[in-house]
């Protein structure tokens, strides 16, 4: 019985090890590099209505130019949540 148990455990491990590369290939199309998860989160955040429709910018130089043009200060929000 011990030999059968070990064989079943080894077979299960082998099946999982062989299935992992196949599952990984399904996640990303062939030839396409996997997208950085932090970049995905960043793009999702920029697509949210509060950012898209709020008059915000993520371009510092554009913010400086607008500040100079209008005479208003810059309200900046910095975050490292999407930076490695």
Q: What confidence score (pLDDT) does residue 18 get?
A: 59
Give pTM, 2 decimals. Answer: 0.43
pLDDT of residue 24: 55
The pLDDT, as a whole number, for residue 4 is 45
Q: Are 67 and 73 in contact (CB under 8 A)?
A: yes
**70-74: long-range contacts (C-beta < 8 A, 24 or more apart)?**
none
pLDDT of residue 33: 82
Series of mean pLDDT values for 10-residue runs along the chain (84 residues):
50 57 58 84 89 86 96 86 60
Q: What is the pLDDT of residue 45?
A: 86
Contact criterion met (CB below 8 Å) for 27 and 34:
yes
The CA-to-CA distance between both ends of the chain, in Å, stands at: 50
């Amino acid at each position: 019985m011990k030999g059968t148990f070990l064989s079943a455990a080894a077979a299960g491990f082998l099946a999982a090890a062989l299935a992992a590369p196949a599952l990984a290939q399904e996640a990303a199309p062939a030839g396409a590099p996997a997208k950085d998860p932090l970049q995905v989160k960043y793009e999702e955040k920029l697509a949210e209505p509060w950012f898209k429709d709020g008059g915000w910018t993520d371009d510092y130089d554009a913010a400086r130019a607008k500040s100079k043009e209008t005479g208003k200060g810059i309200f900046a929000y910095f975050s490292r949540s999407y930076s490695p």
